[in-house]
Structure 1
Amino acid sequence: MDRPGCGDSTLADRSLVDWPADVVSLADHLNIERFSVLGASGGGPYALACARFIPQKRLRAATVVCGIGPIEALLDTVPYLSWRLMGITPWLLRQGALRVFLPHILIRPYLTRDPSRLKRVLEDQAKTPEEKEQFRDNSGETDLDDVVASLLEAFKQGAGGCMQDGAALTREWGFDLKDVDSERVLLVHGDQDAQAPLKVAQWIDERLGGGRLRTLEGKTHFTIWKEHSEEIFRQSAEA
């Protein structure tokens, strides 16, 4: 599913808690009675929202792979951010994310429509030997050309969709993790993830009641899919 403003989806002001209704609407359209969802990276919060708001009779399971957390998770897990300055620190983090990190650091490199340039952007992001090797793998599972094609499709309308997505994730999520049916949630995370630190996944797991997190040793935000993608999808589908 393309979120608002991504791919061919119409740009609209949709919050995180609106997403589960969209998922159910699509399932109804496709005549799918019960289903599972999987959210990776920035999709993690959307999967958790589904676990919170979609009834058990429809949603089997929600799997979060290398998911990001709310601003509160950063405040609790990053030492120099724990000094909240009477609420100023969360505000500064949100402003920094929306005005600097999202538009200039995260999104801008992907806005090119030149496939070869976009491919170089992705190659430059590979830091570990395993990540570099994964980008050289032409087996089909991790074909860099497929990633380029996906990003070109995601940004075909420009940056509006991603900015809307980022704004939704930096605001209050609209639900408490303690109210999520944690029995339907599986968290999978690499212990070498630099983009979404493991401590954030542990923070989320704690608020879900614990025991939902599976940590994969030596895996990063990107290499976690190399050896575990089929296993992760199968476990989610069969839950």
Structure 2
Amino acid sequence: MGKFYSKQTNIWTKSRSTKELPVYPHLTISNFPKNEGETIILKDGRSLGFKEYNFKHITQHPITNNLNKEHVILLIPGLPCTRFFCHPQVLSSLEFHQQQEPKIPNNMSTESLNSYTLQIKLYVLERPGIGLSTFAKRSFLEFSQDIKEFCDQKKIENCSLIAYSAGGPYGLAAAYSLGKSTDNSSKPLITKAAIISSIAPYNVPNLTSNMPLKLKFAWWLTKNWTGLLSLIARMESNAVMKDPVKASREGRSDAPQSDIECIENLKGVEEMFIESSLEMYSRGQIETECYEYSLWGKDWGFQLNEISGGVKCKVWHGEEDSGTTISMGKYIALQIPGCEASFVEEKGHLLYFEVWNDIVDWLVT
């Protein structure tokens, strides 16, 4: 739920961090917004922003077919996240034009090396009112129509999908509406959907269990007082534009220890969140964030148990996640027919960054 900003001592740096965190002199409001990225024009005249990342993925799972196939993955990130949100490993691959040499199992010869190297085309999509996308009050299901138009224009016949955090409902809606076989194809447009640390419907039992009090209050506001929640969100955006690094760290001051360690140990994670925050807020897109919060307290327009027809789903969720609680992840996995699940002990909301390779492995094998 964004950061739900509060003015408190920076617990992160004073008592919980064991390492000196970096500074980011380039991450200032004067360097934003950015023009990098692309758009398509939808049928109703709106723009949909996106960024394309082409990288190689090394898998330890033997690939028995489609060795030369380029795998297309759509990514729907959370809030506030833009087309610049992917994964540090993807950026490293682009920067160095290669990944580390894959490990070869003892029973495999070097001739089989190519079967472990896959080409991935990742599209990070921006929802209406985020980044380069035109603002519009679209529901979760209506955004699925935008995804369908995007795939039509890009001539994508089949792909898989990753949805993270606040992007989860949009990914689940896409699995529901685009995960069914059509008259023109035996395979659905969305063949697999990886749902990581996702928001769940507002009526989930024990939805706010293990949440800090401020987040419980914010969840109550999504259904009962969105005006006040919007005011708080605007306070957050002002804090980010004034001092983005400080605001980011104070916003995570009560995060589980695993999230703190993820920020410390995986270069690029914190920077990625700050970059997207500045990209959104420098464009004055706080209205988008407020609108999406209001959707969380409403009916989604479909039932999770209606997701079927060919798409395969898997949920990843950290058991110590205090933002989107483990109750949310377990509810989603239980409701979707045939859904796989990985509930990870002692991990929080940043689990996405730690299980990235597992996610991509599952999507492409």
Aligning the two structures, in what range does the TM-score lie when normalised by the shorter sequence? 0.7 to 0.9
1:120 aligns with 2:246: yes
Whether the aligned pair in 2 keeps the contact of 1:5 and 1:157 (CA below 8 Å) is no
The superposition leaves residues 19-55 of structure 1 with CA deviations (integer Å, 9 ceiling, x where unpaired) of 1111111111112111111111111111110111013
Which secondary structure state, in structure 2, belongs to the residue aligned with residue 194 of structure 1? coil
Report what 1:218 is aligned to: 346
Cα distance in 1 for partners of 2:277, 2:192 equals 27
Task: Work out whether residues 123 and 132 of structure 1, in 8 Å CA contact, stay in contact via their aligned partners in 2.
Answer: no
Where do 5+ consecutive residues of structure 1 fail to align? 81-89
Q: Select 1:53's aligned residue among 164, 169, 177.
A: 177
Q: Which has the larger helix fraction?
A: 1
Contact 1:111/1:158 (8 A) holds in 2: no
Aligned to 2:332: 204
Q: Secondary structure at the match of 1:69?
A: coil
| Residues 1:212 and 1:16: Cα distance change in structure 2 (over 3 Å) | same
SS in 1 for 2:279: helix
Is 1:167 aligned with 2:294?
A: yes
Give 3-state SS (helix, strand or coil) of 1:8's partner: coil
Change (3 A) 1:14 1:78: closer
User: How does the TM-score come out when normalised to structure 2?
Assistant: 0.55
Between 1:37-46 and 1:149-158, the stretch displaced more is 149-158
Aligned-pair Cα RMSD in Å: 2.6
3-state SS in 2 of match to 1:114:
helix
Gaps spanning 5+ residues in structure 2: where? 1-124, 182-187, 210-218
Correspondence 1:9 to 2:133: yes
Sequence identity percentage: 21
Q: Indicate conservation of the 8 Å contact 1:44/1:67, yes or no.
A: yes
Out of 193, 199, 203, the position equivalent to 1:72 is: 203
- The structure richer in strand per residue is 2
User: Map of 1:91-106 to 2, 5 A cutoff?
Assistant: 94-96=223-225, 98-104=226-232, 106=233
- The equivalent residue for 2:304 is 177
Alpha-carbon deviation of 1:114?
Answer: 3.3
CA distance in 2, matches of 1:161, 1:225: 23
> Which runs of at least 4 in structure 1 moved beyond 4 Å after TM superposition?
90-93
Amino acid of the structure 2 residue aligned with 1:185: C
8 Å CA contact 1:41–1:66 kept in 2: the answer is yes
Distance, in Å, in 1 between the alignment partners of 2:353 and 2:136 is: 34
TM-score (norm 1): 0.81
Task: State the SS of the aligned residue for 2:355.
Answer: helix
1:18 matched residue in structure 2: 142
CA contact (8 A) 1:38 1:62 kept: yes
Larger radius of gyration: 2
**How many pairs does the alignment contain?**
221
- Residue type matched to 1:95 in 2? N
